[in-house]
Structure 1
Amino acid sequence: MPATPRGATLRRRIRSTGGKVIRRFGLLPAGTPDGLGEDAALLGTSWPYEVLVYFADTTEALYQIEQWYDALRALHAEHPVVVVTRDSRTTRAIRRDSGLDVRTVAHYTTLDDVLGRSATKLALYVNHNPENFSCLRFGNLVHASLMHGDSDKLVTVSNQTKAYDFSFVAGQAAVERMARFSTLYDAHARCVTVGRPQLDDQLRLRATTPRGPLPTVLYAPTWEGGQPSAEYGSVATHGPRIVRALVESGRYRVLYRPHPLTGVRVAAYGDADAAIREYLASAPAPAEGAAHGTDTHRELAPAFAAADLLVCDVSGVAMDWLATGEPIVVTRPVGDAVIATSPLLELAPALRVDDLDDVAGLVERELTEDPTRAERLRLRDHYLGDTEPGAATRRFIEACERLMAVRDEEVARITAEYGRGTTNAQSTGSATGDEEGTR
């Protein structure tokens, strides 16, 4: 028997009520936004923000936007910024930790309504979440990808970059990487070099942090990645042996900084992470100076400030460390991860599983002889540009201002050529409606 209209309506109401209860009490699968938006209060209003940062993820991915807080606060001081989320838990965390204005928008139609009467010009994104397309639809904004790190991982040249009008990158190395590995993409026209604003405070803190009596080796691996081709992490294959060898040598203080997502896809990574933490917690302290330990600060700056040498994987941490000018050792993955040829990976000593028996000797040679220092300092400029504290933040703000000016010029051109009505609507027009657009 076909369902009656009344029965169908009842089922919809039950599903809607059940969904609200699930969202309200946080009974959602990890990574699923709760959709508890401020839509009712936002509909029919406008806002004063020139810049919108769209972050569709849940709290598990907060580390991706957290590293941009300082730069976004500096931008907000000159051009009002709002962070738009799809999850009320994420909103609370960002408001608490960043001090930025944050709005939770559950439905595309709400964003369409507000932007249609607001002066927002620029949208920024810190990842490639598929939900970004809910905001990328608005043709009256300029859209720029910031991402959450610059590295020689092939995932940094994802074809998804083409969805954005521009891509903010650290330095010329990133432009060359995009030009080489992204087909049909004009990297020289669409990449904007801004340096790494995140390094400004890191370098200031490092300059004022006293050195310990023993060299500190920072082991800062990446996670296992979302798929085998991006499995650059070394925690499960290298980690325990690296840490144990350096501690047992008695010559170094060891500081371990795990990636926040370690172990979410491959259990062996989580097991190795736990083993390293437990070992360092129980290992005898060095004869002089601070104890060995695990660093879980939200900010990378304290760990960088304390370290004299970095052991890391192919990741954004390697690029950021270049700013310090100090020695670096980069592991090589065991599995099927694809490694791009790059100046840094060709220069930095490679640590393979077969080399782990001599990891303490390798660290000793790099600290005492540092044979690649001069070339590494040249690479610093190539990868990061001007690393004088404050320079990158200024470049970031100026880049945002240029893109807003480009947007204004383009809107004026289209209005003059096609008429005012063509630029009034923020959206490029969706025939699918709110529910289709946000599923």
Structure 2
Amino acid sequence: MPVTPRGATLRRRIRSTGGRLIRRLGLLPAGTPDGVGEDAALLGTSWRYEVIVYFADTPEALYQLEQWYDTLRALDESHPVVVVTRDSRTARAIRADSGLDVRTVAHYTTLDDVLGRSATKLALYVNHNPENFTCLRFGNLVHASLMHGDSDKLVSVSNQTKAYDFSFVAGQAAVDRMARFSTLYDAPSRCVPVGRPQLDGQLRRRAETARGPVPTVLYAPTWEGGQPSAEYGSLATHGRAIVRSLVESGRYRVIYRPHPLTGVRDARYGDADSAVREYLAHAPAPAEGPGHATDTGPDLGPAFAAADLLVCDVSGVAMDWLATGEPIIITRPGSGAVVASSPLLDLAPRLTAEQAGNVAALVERELGEDPTRQRRLALREHYLGDTRPGAATARFIAACEQLMAIRDREVARVEAEISR
């Protein structure tokens, strides 16, 4: 039977009411924003914020934003910052942990209304969520991608980067990577090296932390990746052998730090994660100092501060560790992951799955002889720029100010064109 206009209206109301109830009860599929916004209170108002950080994700992805909290608080001291979310659960978590102002905006029309009344100039993004386009529509803002780490993964060279006016990157290595592997993209003009401001606090903490009596090895694998070509993770292929070799040697303390998304795509990684945690929980402690540990805290700093050597995958953790100046071992993926040459990957010892069971011998050599130390230290500036504590944060703030000045100039130019 044909649906009458009255019947169609009733169905829409039922669907709308049902959707609101599902959102309110938190019964949404994982990764789906609840859309419970502050729109009614925001409509018709303005705000004082010069900078918005647009984060459309659910709480599972908060690790991408959390690493920027200290830096954004520093920016907020001179240029007011607001985090805009599309999920009320995410907003609550950010408010509780960041000290930043947060607004939850469910509808594009609300954001359009508020931004039209406000002096907001700069929008920042820490990932490539497709929902970012809700904010990218606004031509009266300058849009900059921050992302949540720099690495030699080829997936770091994403075509999605072209959507933003500028991309903040760690150092010249990232600019070179984009220029080398991207198409139709002017990397030197659109990439802005700012270092890794997140390292400012980590390096201070490391300088204040005394080394333990037994050398500590940090094993920090990445996750399995979103597709086979990005499966850089070693946990399923190397993980148990690495940890067992180090523990059974009796010469090292092990800190295991899994990636927050471990096992979300491939159950083998989740099983390996459980096995490593279980093994370390019952492994005999070193003769001196603290026992082995699994670190799942939001801050990488304590693990970095305690470690003497890092075993990791091709990932952003490797880049950040360069700032410490200490030895590093990088795994060689046993999957179909695409790995291109890079200065760090060509220099660092690479560990295959077959060699994982004897990693303790390699660790002993690297800690004792550290044959690549001088060349590795020379790479630090290439990848990270100035790593003196505070330098990257200052550079980040200066870059934001430069982009806001560009925005003012461009908006004035467009308004002049319109008024002709």
Q: TM-score, normalised by structure 2?
A: 0.99
- Give the C-alpha shift of residue 105 in structure 1: 0.3
Secondary structure of residue in 2 paired with 1:236: helix
- Give the C-alpha shift of residue 202 in structure 1: 0.2
For 1:391-402, list aligned pairs within 5 A.
391-402=391-402
Aligned to 1:160: 160
What is the rounded CA distance, in whole Å, between the counterparts of 1:248 and 1:213 in structure 2?
A: 17
Secondary structure of residue in 1 paired with 2:371: coil
What is the rounded CA distance, in whole Å, between the counterparts of 2:305 and 2:105 in structure 1?
A: 38
Aligned to 2:364: 364
What is the rounded CA distance, in whole Å, between the counterparts of 2:361 and 2:395 in structure 1?
A: 41
List per-residue Cα deviations over 1:69-94 (Å, max 9, x = no partner). 00000000000000000000000000
Secondary structure of residue in 1 paired with 2:139: coil
- Give the C-alpha shift of residue 146 in structure 1: 0.1
Shift >4 Å, 4+ stretches: none
What is the rounded CA distance, in whole Å, between the counterparts of 2:262 and 2:358 in structure 1?
A: 26
Aligned to 1:171: 171
> In the alignment, is residue 49 of structure 1 matched against residue 18 of structure 2?
no
- Give the C-alpha shift of residue 171 in structure 1: 0.3
What is the rounded CA distance, in whole Å, between the counterparts of 2:357 and 2:137 in structure 1?
A: 53
Aligned to 1:117: 117
Q: How many residues align?
A: 420
List per-residue Cα deviations over 1:217-268 (Å, max 9, x = no partner). 0000000011111110011100000000100000000000000010011001
| Amino-acid identity (%) | 82
Secondary structure of residue in 2 paired with 1:345: helix
For 1:31-430, list aligned pairs within 5 A.
31-419=31-419
What is the rounded CA distance, in whole Å, between the counterparts of 1:416 and 1:29 in structure 2?
A: 47
For 1:12-23, list aligned pairs within 5 A.
12-23=12-23
What is the rounded CA distance, in whole Å, between the counterparts of 1:412 and 1:296 in structure 2?
A: 48
What is the rounded CA distance, in whole Å, between the counterparts of 1:415 and 1:189 in structure 2?
A: 24
What is the rounded CA distance, in whole Å, between the counterparts of 2:412 and 2:136 in structure 1?
A: 20
What is the rounded CA distance, in whole Å, between the counterparts of 2:269 and 2:353 in structure 1?
A: 16
Farther-moved stretch of structure 1 (409-418 vs 280-289): 409-418
Q: TM-score, normalised by structure 1?
A: 0.95
List per-residue Cα deviations over 1:356-375 (Å, max 9, x = no partner). 23211101000000000000
Amino acid at match of 2:38: E
Amino acid at match of 1:64: Q
Amino acid at match of 2:115: L
List per-residue Cα deviations over 1:377-410 (Å, max 9, x = no partner). 0000100000000000000000000000001011
Secondary structure of residue in 2 paired with 1:237: helix
What is the rounded CA distance, in whole Å, between the counterparts of 2:6 and 2:12 in structure 1?
A: 10
What is the rounded CA distance, in whole Å, between the counterparts of 2:353 and 2:240 in structure 1?
A: 12
- Give the C-alpha shift of residue 341 in structure 1: 1.0
What is the rounded CA distance, in whole Å, between the counterparts of 1:196 and 1:419 in structure 2?
A: 42
2:244, 2:357 within 8 Å by CA — same for their partners in 1? no
Segments of 5+ residues of structure 2 without an aligned counterpart are none
What is the rounded CA distance, in whole Å, between the counterparts of 1:148 and 1:405 in structure 2?
A: 25
- Give the C-alpha shift of residue 417 in structure 1: 3.1
Secondary structure of residue in 1 paired with 2:236: coil
What is the rounded CA distance, in whole Å, between the counterparts of 1:242 and 1:143 in structure 2?
A: 42
What is the rounded CA distance, in whole Å, between the counterparts of 2:30 and 2:179 in structure 1?
A: 36
List per-residue Cα deviations over 1:329-363 (Å, max 9, x = no partner). 00011111111210000000000012123211101
How large is the Cα RMSD of the aligned pairs? Answer: 0.7
What is the rounded CA distance, in whole Å, between the counterparts of 1:144 and 1:128 in structure 2?
A: 11
